[in-house]
Amino acid sequence: MAEAETRPGRTRDAERTRQVIVDAAEAVFAQHGYDGARIDVIAQISGYNKSLIGQYFGDKLGLYTEVLKRTDRDLTALQARVLAPLFEHNVGPMDAENFRTFLTIVVRTMFDYLLDHPHFLRILTWEMAEGWQTYKQIVSHLQSEDREPFERFFQQAEQAGLLRSGFTPLIQLAMITPICQSYLATLPLYEVMLPQEDISS
């Protein structure tokens, strides 16, 4: 009976431990990239030893996967909360106002997420610099977002003459992320180039 009573507490402690380790790993991967990150540094920052990290996550790639899986869960939940209502209310022919509203919300949502999650922004930038080599190894472990509503939405926009290109709709949408990423990652340079202007918003 006593063992059963302590089990929930042990579960909470294990989850808290995992969270602390993932937080430390995210910071180290953001600072050094996947190749430059070291498990012993993550262990030191988290306050847990390497053997415990191995017990929870296996190896460095397993830990990196968990870092990105957490972000993936966040983005999936964000999509469900912010974008799903737009798809649900999209009935009838596509018009320019609806499409503009959709794009505005998508850009603002992604920009704000990257602004609020600088570690993820840096990890994305490392991945881009390294040709997405590590990401390609773990992409099958990430959630597969429902692409069909996006495909349908962009196809409707194309049919309505709101897009001048038949370029793959998913790529057109996905390009929003690197546009936001590029601006935020380059912002320190812009601030040096334009010291008199407020360009941080």
User: Residue 97 contacts by C-beta under 8 Å, 6 or more apart in sequence?
Assistant: none
Per-residue pLDDT reduced to its tens digit, 73-90: 998 888 888 877 877 766
Q: Is residue 63 included in any domain, yes or no?
A: yes
Which one-letter amino acid corresponds to residue 115? L
Higher pLDDT, 162 or 44: 44
Domain extent at residue 24: 2-193
Model confidence at 6: pLDDT above 50: no
Q: Is residue 145 included in any domain, yes or no?
A: yes
| Residues 123 and 36 sit within 8 Å (Cβ to Cβ) | no
pLDDT band at 192 (very low <50, low <70, confident <90, very high): very high
Tokens of 90: 């999209």
Model confidence at 3: pLDDT above 50: no
- Mean pLDDT calculated for residue range 38-49: 97
Q: Is residue 201 included in any domain, yes or no?
A: no
pLDDT at 11: 66
Task: Quickly list DSSP for 88-102.
Answer: HT--SS--HHHHHHH
Number of domains observed in the structure of the chain: 1
Q: Is residue 13 included in any domain, yes or no?
A: yes
- Residue 132 sits in a domain whose CATH number is 1.10.357.10
Q: Is residue 104 included in any domain, yes or no?
A: yes
Q: Please tell me the distance from the alpha carbon of residue 198 to that of residue 182, in angstroms, as a whole number.
A: 18
Q: Is residue 200 included in any domain, yes or no?
A: no
First to last CA, the chain: 57
Per-residue pLDDT reduced to its tens digit, 45-54: 999 999 999 9
Q: Is residue 199 included in any domain, yes or no?
A: no
User: Residue 109 contacts by C-beta under 8 Å, 6 or more apart in sequence?
Assistant: 78, 82, 83
Closest residue by Cα to residue 68 from 28, 26, 126: 26
- Mean pLDDT calculated for residue range 37-63: 97
Q: The pTM is what? A: 0.84
Per-residue pLDDT reduced to its tens digit, 105-155: 989 999 999 999 999 999 999 999 999 999 999 999 887 666 777 777 888
Q: Is residue 169 included in any domain, yes or no?
A: yes
Q: Please tell me the distance from the alpha carbon of residue 49 to that of residue 60, in angstroms, as a whole number.
A: 14
